[in-house]
Chain A
Amino acid sequence: QKEVEQNSGPLSVPEGAIASLNCTYSDRGSQSFFWYRQYSGKSPELIMFIYSNGDKEDGRFTAQLNKASQYVSLLIRDSQPSDSATYLCAVVGPDSSYKLIFGSGTRLLVRP
C-alpha cells in the first residue's frame, strides 16, 4: 500500500464550480499535511497546510482533515481556468518528522 494515495484524474470541472480533491494516507501517526500546486514544467508551490482535524480556509481554498478516517481533502471554490494544474498531497512520513512524502498528484482541468 502506498503511503499517500491520490486519484490521478484528470478531474474536469466547469469554471465557477467547486473542485474537490482527495488524498488518503496510511500512517495513522502522521501529524502534518500539505497541499501543493504544480503547473506543467514548474516546481510545486505550497497552497495550504493543516495540522488539526477539521477545516481550514484560505481565500477560495479549504483544506479538510479527518485523522480517524485518514484522509485529507482540498476544496477549490469558484474554480478558474488558471487553477488547472496538478495538485499534490504531502504528508510527514512515518519514519521521521522531517520525512515529507508526496502522493502522485491529481490533475485538475477547469473548463472555461
Chain B
Amino acid sequence: DGGITQSPKYLFRKEGQNVTLSCEQNLNHDAMYWYRQDPGQGLRLIYYSQIVNDFQKGDIAEGYSVSREKKESFPLTVTSAQKNPTAFYLCASSNGEGTEAFFGQGTRLTVV
C-alpha cells in the first residue's frame, strides 16, 4: 500500500536528549514536510524539502534539524535546544508545486 509511515507513534524522552523521528513515503513524491501541532492549535511548519539534498526552514525551525538524503525519507531531529519539544509531530508529502499534501499518522513526543 502506498503511503507515509511515521515511527514511532509514541515517543518518550528525557529533557536534554536529542531524538530523531522517522518519516518514510513510498508515493514517489518530491516534496516532504514536517509540522508541529500543540493541543488545540493548528499546524506549524518546521521544515520542508522540495527535492533530495535540499530543504528550507519553516516558521519554527529553531531547535530542529532535518536531512533529505533519499527521496523517500525525511527524518526530523528534535535537539536539546528546542525549549518545549512535547507536541504532536506530523510528516507529509506532496507530488509537486501547489499540490495537496498527504499526512502520516503522526508521532506524539513527550519530553519529561
A contact set with B: CB distance below 8 Å: 6, 31-32, 34, 42-46, 49, 51, 88, 90, 92, 96-105
B contact set with A: CB distance below 8 Å: 31, 33, 35, 41-45, 48, 50, 56, 58, 90, 92, 94, 97-106
Q: Which residues of A contact B50 (CB under 8 A)?
A: 96, 98
Q: How far is the CA of A98 from the CA of B93 in the complex (A)?
A: 10
Interchain CB contact under 8 A, B42 and A103 = yes
B interface: dominant SS: strand
Q: How far is the CA of A6 from the CA of B42 in the complex (A)?
A: 10
Chain B CB within 10 Å, residue with most, of A31, A44, A46, A88: A44
Q: Which residues of B contact A96 (CB under 8 A)?
A: 48, 50, 56
Q: How far is the CA of A4 from the CA of B90 in the complex (A)?
A: 19
Interchain CB contact under 8 A, B42 and A98 = no
Assuming A102-B42, A102-B43, A105-B42, is B90 touching A44 (CB within 8 A)?
yes
Chain A CB within 10 Å, residue with most, of B33, B56, B99: B99
Assuming A32-B98, A43-B105, A44-B103, is B42 touching A100 (CB within 8 A)?
no
Assuming A96-B56, A99-B58, is B99 touching A32 (CB within 8 A)?
yes
